[in-house]
Structure 1
Amino acid sequence: MNIASPFSICIVAMTVLAFLGLPIGHAMIAGSILYLWLAGLDMGTAAEQLLNGMYVNYIILAVPLFILAAELMNIGSMTERLLQFCNAIVGRFRGGLAQVNVLQSIIFAGMSGSAIADAAGTGKMMQVMMTAGGKYRASYAAALTAATSVIGPIIPPSIPMILYALVSDASIGYLFLGGVVPGLLMAFAQMVIVAIGARRENFPVEKPTPLRDLPGITWRALPTLMMPVVLLGGIYSGATTPTEAAAVAAAYALLISALLYRSVSLRDFYRSVLGSARVSASIGMLIAGALVFNYVVTVENIPNDIKILLAGWELTPLGFLILVNVILLVLGCLLEGTTILLVVVPVLIPAAKALGIDMVHFGIVVVVNIMLGLITPPYGLLLFVMTRIANVPIRDIVRDVMPFLFAMVVALALITALPDLVLWLPRLLGYQG
């Protein structure tokens, strides 16, 4: 690559601006406009690409709606009732509270679509429950919450899968279905690590919930437990699109929290709307920057060049997927997941298609990699979130999260090598890929 070419200068400009503290979305837009100017192209193309991408893609609207649904769940008592239900189910076993942490993430995953929302929503409660009376080390509780939060965007609904569908044209419904078995596999791997740790460190056994209390606890948590049923049932019955289902999820969370549980004030509602708007605006700028920069990448014919390069290596589909895993795991140590998904993954998609790799399988492999990046040092966003929540040094959280990270990498290897783990459920419901 010519270091004086417009594309090289664009990359340098983006990198410098990002290091100077400009948000990456703004940096991508600025670098792309600089490229258009240096290449003698119409700089108004940047605005055209941004507007077309943001307003034509109806599916993007699902992102702020899922974020709002998660915020509304957190301000009500839905999360608290969910934890009570999980504790009644698995709290009686050795290391039971740690297993509760995994189980609640499985259930919460069917509601929020965001790993950060999962950690923020139940993370503080789980931290208090697990560390009360010195039952668990604060760093272990924080590491476990960070690891279990990774499950959130793998089991549907999933904001990263929505963004992947945006850049790949894969079916969101089948992507959601494809994430179910891998998500449960990741949860099983975490439960095994918890069980091993419980025996080695002699974790406490919680007081069993009397069986006579179980129906009442389940009944109080039932409206919360029904949210994934309402959400996914609407999508797969054909009654709603994924975007409409996100709106239904937000409305359902508000109605349950405000009218049934009566646990939401006007001030709480205002704060949740404001908080979700801020997060949505941040993601929106990333999407906008990626749309403009992806136009630059297309003009430079980068995806086709990479496809030709990989064809020269004569990689098998499995070999290509292993290479993608390595690339994404390394990038996950350095970059934010949404940036990888919107900037790096579109470059890899043409090569994946040329090798005959199923786009749903590829999408799940990509999303799992990006989620693992959230707990991979040194960047690991979830590690920093839990550091603030638990008020413990990040090095202690990193130490305790490593066994869970290793187990999930093993699960990723299985998902990569065995496409049927991803595609079995979509094919059962009509997927032809």
Structure 2
Amino acid sequence: MSFAFLLCLATILVIAAIGAPIAYAIIIGAFAYLWAAGSSIGIAGKVLMDGLYQSYILLAVPLFIVAANIMNAGSISDRLLNFCVAIVGRFRGGLGHVNVVTSLVFSGMSGSAVADAAGIGRIIIEMMTKSGHYTRGYAAAITAASATIGPIIPPSIPMVLYALVSGSSIGYLFVAGILPGLLMGAVLMAINAWIAHRRGFALEAAVPMSDLPRITARAFPALMMPVILLYGIYGGVTTPTEAAAVAAFYALILAAGFYRAMSIRSFYEILVESARSSAAIGLVIGGALILNYIVASENIPSLVADALVGLDIPPILFLLSVNLLILLLGCILDASTIILVIIPLFIPTCRELGIDLVHFGVVAIVNCMIGLITPPYGILLFVINAVTRIPLGEIIREIWLFLAVLVAALLLMIFFPSITLWLPRLLGYEG
């Protein structure tokens, strides 16, 4: 590695360490590299514009953000929540099950863990604490854990970013996330049931079965969104980016037209908030595009691949090692940074070792989501702390069992690739 590259890394680490946003750290580090290497600063602008111009897929990111914000602002989230309460709220630990099932359902609309936790997650926490059966820390912890499912079941903003850096099919990545997402939901519900029996959580009042058809009918239009998205992509009707536009438009029609739960003013506020969120992600993407150019210029991916292949590392050991690294990095970095900056370093090695890139991508993204709830710097822990004012210490004390079962689910995905690849292969994937 050259002096310029070492200076780039040092600059990024120092700026990030003083608390500056990681996007600024990456961009300033990239400028430091170009200055030390004697290159024109204009290269950064060219790389950035070329990367954005050639990545039509990135339009899906702001569109999915708009769809998620409309879901949270309208009455759609409330209808989905009532549906989940009617289905699983009658069991011991019922509101905990509702929490997980709601995340499974809502993940088919938002594609964002933060949107899930800050939106509908906040509502469920209030329900759980008001019932008197759950501590604040437990309600917040299971909400944070279940929110990690959001970006696994399609649609998924992190999968869009991974497709950008790996060249993998978004469609197959989306389908590959369905079974892993359901597995994550299953293990979370299992540990919730175990804790509920161990702590003697009281039963909630059951919704009468006679009310179930009415509640289902109220939620049915919202439940159709993931069906419409997947049919659009796999039926050849839309591209993934067009499907994101359909998702945003469908959410708007439901909230404003069908449910009549949105005003022009609230829609304006949604667009402003979505623009801010998209801009924040865009800064990270822009910095990552420049940094990836620098990494390629230094031939780092080939050096890493040659070193690992030369050591004759078995593919499963490589996967375990990379996932351990991602899990550790997830404690201090956000998922977008890991996907755009760290993961591309290992993609050439995956190709050399014969590791399927769709399988690798889903496993890596699940790992990044687990990092969102890993103390001390799990972003979802801070998001829930910010929107509910529940002390961080109470959340962290309750998060460990949920974290353990999610790691167990991750290991199952690593050792049994068919969990991620079975559905894509049914649809013709040949990887």
For normalisation by structure 2, the TM-score amounts to 0.98
DSSP 3-state at the match of 2:119: helix
Instruction: Label 1:356 to 1:133 Cα distance change in 2 as closer, same or farther (>3 A).
Output: closer
Residues 1:409 and 2:407 aligned together: yes
Aligned to 1:261: 259
Following TM superposition, by how much is the alpha carbon of 1:249 offset from its aligned partner in structure 2, in angstroms? 0.6
Following TM superposition, by how much is the alpha carbon of 1:261 offset from its aligned partner in structure 2, in angstroms? 0.8
Following TM superposition, by how much is the alpha carbon of 1:140 offset from its aligned partner in structure 2, in angstroms? 0.4
Provide structure 1 residue ranges, at least 5 long, that are not aligned to the other structure. none
- Correspondence list, 1:28-427, <5 A: 28-427=26-425
CA contact (8 A) 1:86 1:100 kept: yes
DSSP 3-state at the match of 1:28: helix
1: CA distance between counterparts of 2:253 and 2:17? 43
2: CA distance between counterparts of 1:363 and 1:67? 21
Following TM superposition, by how much is the alpha carbon of 1:394 offset from its aligned partner in structure 2, in angstroms? 1.0
Between 252-261 and 204-213, the greater mean CA deviation after superposition: 204-213
2: CA distance between counterparts of 1:9 and 1:40? 13
2: CA distance between counterparts of 1:341 and 1:243? 19
Which amino acid is the alignment partner of residue 214 of structure 2?
Answer: G
Residues 269-309 of structure 1: per-residue CA shift (max 9 Å, x gap): 11111111000000000000000011111111111111111
> What's the RMSD between the two structures over aligned residues?
1.1
Following TM superposition, by how much is the alpha carbon of 1:133 offset from its aligned partner in structure 2, in angstroms? 3.8
Following TM superposition, by how much is the alpha carbon of 1:314 offset from its aligned partner in structure 2, in angstroms? 1.2
2: CA distance between counterparts of 1:309 and 1:426? 32
1: CA distance between counterparts of 2:337 and 2:314? 27
1: CA distance between counterparts of 2:385 and 2:416? 35
DSSP 3-state at the match of 2:346: helix
2: CA distance between counterparts of 1:133 and 1:107? 23
Between 266-275 and 389-398, the greater mean CA deviation after superposition: 389-398
Which amino acid is the alignment partner of residue 384 of structure 1?
Answer: F
Between 307-316 and 241-250, the greater mean CA deviation after superposition: 307-316
CA contact (8 A) 1:130 1:136 kept: yes
Following TM superposition, by how much is the alpha carbon of 1:45 offset from its aligned partner in structure 2, in angstroms? 1.2
1: CA distance between counterparts of 2:157 and 2:221? 23
2: CA distance between counterparts of 1:127 and 1:382? 14
Residues 47-91 of structure 1: per-residue CA shift (max 9 Å, x gap): 111001112100000000000000001110000000100011111
Residues 347-398 of structure 1: per-residue CA shift (max 9 Å, x gap): 1111111100000000011101100010001110000111123322212111
Which amino acid is the alignment partner of residue 369 of structure 2?
Answer: M
CA contact (8 A) 2:136 2:394 kept: no
Which amino acid is the alignment partner of residue 407 of structure 2?
Answer: V
2: CA distance between counterparts of 1:17 and 1:389? 27
CA contact (8 A) 2:70 2:252 kept: yes
Following TM superposition, by how much is the alpha carbon of 1:44 offset from its aligned partner in structure 2, in angstroms? 1.4
Aligned to 1:428: 426
2: CA distance between counterparts of 1:380 and 1:14? 20
DSSP 3-state at the match of 1:205: coil
2: CA distance between counterparts of 1:27 and 1:221? 44
Residues 220-261 of structure 1: per-residue CA shift (max 9 Å, x gap): 111111111111211111101111011111111111011111
Aligned residues: 431
2: CA distance between counterparts of 1:344 and 1:124? 31
Identity %: 55
CA contact (8 A) 1:123 1:389 kept: no
Following TM superposition, by how much is the alpha carbon of 1:315 offset from its aligned partner in structure 2, in angstroms? 0.7
Where do 4+ consecutive residues of structure 1 move more than 4 Å?
Answer: none
2: CA distance between counterparts of 1:138 and 1:57? 43
Which amino acid is the alignment partner of residue 280 of structure 1?
Answer: S
2: CA distance between counterparts of 1:364 and 1:31? 29
For normalisation by structure 1, the TM-score amounts to 0.98
CA contact (8 A) 1:155 1:183 kept: yes
2: CA distance between counterparts of 1:13 and 1:403? 37
Which amino acid is the alignment partner of residue 28 of structure 1?
Answer: I
Following TM superposition, by how much is the alpha carbon of 1:40 offset from its aligned partner in structure 2, in angstroms? 2.2
Between 86-95 and 24-33, the greater mean CA deviation after superposition: 24-33
DSSP 3-state at the match of 1:282: helix
Which amino acid is the alignment partner of residue 239 of structure 2?
Answer: T
Which amino acid is the alignment partner of residue 337 of structure 1?
Answer: A
Which amino acid is the alignment partner of residue 284 of structure 2?
Answer: L
CA contact (8 A) 1:138 1:390 kept: no
Which amino acid is the alignment partner of residue 389 of structure 2?
Answer: N
Following TM superposition, by how much is the alpha carbon of 1:210 offset from its aligned partner in structure 2, in angstroms? 1.3
Between 347-356 and 39-48, the greater mean CA deviation after superposition: 39-48
1: CA distance between counterparts of 2:408 and 2:223? 30
2: CA distance between counterparts of 1:318 and 1:57? 32
DSSP 3-state at the match of 2:246: helix
Between 200-209 and 297-306, the greater mean CA deviation after superposition: 200-209
Following TM superposition, by how much is the alpha carbon of 1:11 offset from its aligned partner in structure 2, in angstroms? 1.3
CA contact (8 A) 2:111 2:154 kept: yes
Provide structure 2 residue ranges, at least 5 long, that are not aligned to the other structure. none
2: CA distance between counterparts of 1:353 and 1:42? 33
